[in-house]
Each structure stands twice: as C-alpha cells, then as structure tokens.
Amino acid sequence: MTDTQIAPKFTADLWAAFWAAPDPSRIAALLAEDIVGHWPGDPKPVRGRADYLAKIDGIVGAMPDLKLTLVDSATVAGAADGEELIFLHYTGTAADGAITVRGMDRLRTRAGIVVENVIRFDFSEL
C-alpha cells in the first residue's frame, strides 16, 4: 500500500450497503483472518475468515431476498488502543415480507478491521 492509499475501514454505513445487496466477497477485506462470530442458536462460535464468510454465504443462500435495514448505530472506543465497538440495530425482511426480524450486532474492530461480531435476534420472529 502506498502512502496515498487508504486501508478499508468497517463502518455502519458499509454494513448497511452490504445488506442492501449482500455479496460476501465484498466484505472479506474488512474481516480479520482470525475473526470470531457468535450467532444465536449456534453452540460454538464461528472462527476464522473463511468460516465466517461461509456462514454469511449460507444465510444469503438460504434467504437470497434477505434485506437488512439499519435503524440505528453507535461507535465507542474499545478497551484496547485502536479498538472500537460498533453497535448496530436493524430490521430485516425476506420471503417477500413474510419473514421479518429485528436484531442487534456488536462488532469489535481493530484498526477498522472486524475481529469479533456478536449477533443477536429473536428466533420467534422467524
């Protein structure tokens, strides 16, 4: 990377753009190689970029019309230097509106790269 290039940085706006037209390949550069993802209902966290992307790909494959819409977000400094916590509140629809969901994610980033994501939504809404 030259001095004039800017490294990608995860933001709530990038999250919203991704879920408006999901394509897991578009977010790979924003995920740490050792990212950890915590999905509700999964007994173990998803570990590593490849497995995390496969999980997202599986969700998109199972519900290709899933669209998540950002309702609100907040970013705060994390415990470690250069770390941020990004909180996202969203709603989603799939199956032509037959499925609706409301959820919240808490992402931990370091230098703009996602190292952990804790995903929470109510299964009863599905």
Q: Give yes or no for a contact between 109 and 7, defined as CB atoms under 8 angstroms apart.
A: no
Q: What is the CATH number of the domain that holds 79?
A: 3.10.450.50
Range of the domain at 28: 12-125
Classify residue 78 as exposed, middle or buried by CB count within 10 Å of its CB (0-12, 13-18, 19+).
middle
Q: Within a domain: residue 5?
A: no
Q: How confident is the model at residue 4 (pLDDT cuts 50, 70, 90)?
A: low
Average pLDDT over residues 115-121: 96
Given this model, what pLDDT does residue 125 score? 58
Residue 91 pLDDT more than 70?
yes
Cβ neighbours, 10 Å, residue 123? 8
Domain tally for the chain? 1
Overall average pLDDT of the 27-54 stretch: 96
Is residue 5 very low, low, confident or very high in pLDDT (cuts 50, 70, 90)?
Answer: low
The pTM assigned to this predicted structure is 0.87
Nearest to 89 by CA among 4, 1, 37, 16: 16
- Asked if residue 44 belongs to a domain, the reply is yes
Q: Is the pLDDT higher at 122 or at 71?
A: 71
Q: Does a structural domain hold residue 4?
A: no
